[in-house]
Amino acid sequence: MKLDDKLYLVRFNTDKLNHIKITNGDLCLKCKDKVCTFICPAHVYDWDEEENRIAVGYEGCLECGTCRVACPHGNIKWDYPRGGFGVSWKNG
């Protein structure tokens, strides 16, 4: 089964409160590789050329925590969403 097929089985109850924060935007400007933009399986992070910053689309977060581990500067504050919100996995 392809990743896109598996992601189709995921359902989200999106909270209005963002559970992901970039701690210091200036560090992102200095980051050469911008690992968060390609390490996240849900593509939550995107480099916004016009605004010269990382855009975070937390609504599609799979809650794997890969981003906070992969960021070479430890610049991502990531918590689980509040109870009742976030990802729910559907089997079958």
pTM score, whole prediction: 0.81
Regarding predicted confidence, which is higher, 37 or 3?
Answer: 37
Q: Give the domain extent around 16.
A: 3-89
SS3 4: helix
Q: For a pLDDT cut of 70, what percent of the chain falls above it?
A: 93
What CATH number has the domain bearing residue 18?
A: 3.30.70.20
pLDDT for 91 equals: 64
Place of tokens 């409160």: 17
Contacts with 1 (C-beta within 8 Å, 6 or more apart), sequence order? none
Number of domains in the chain: 1
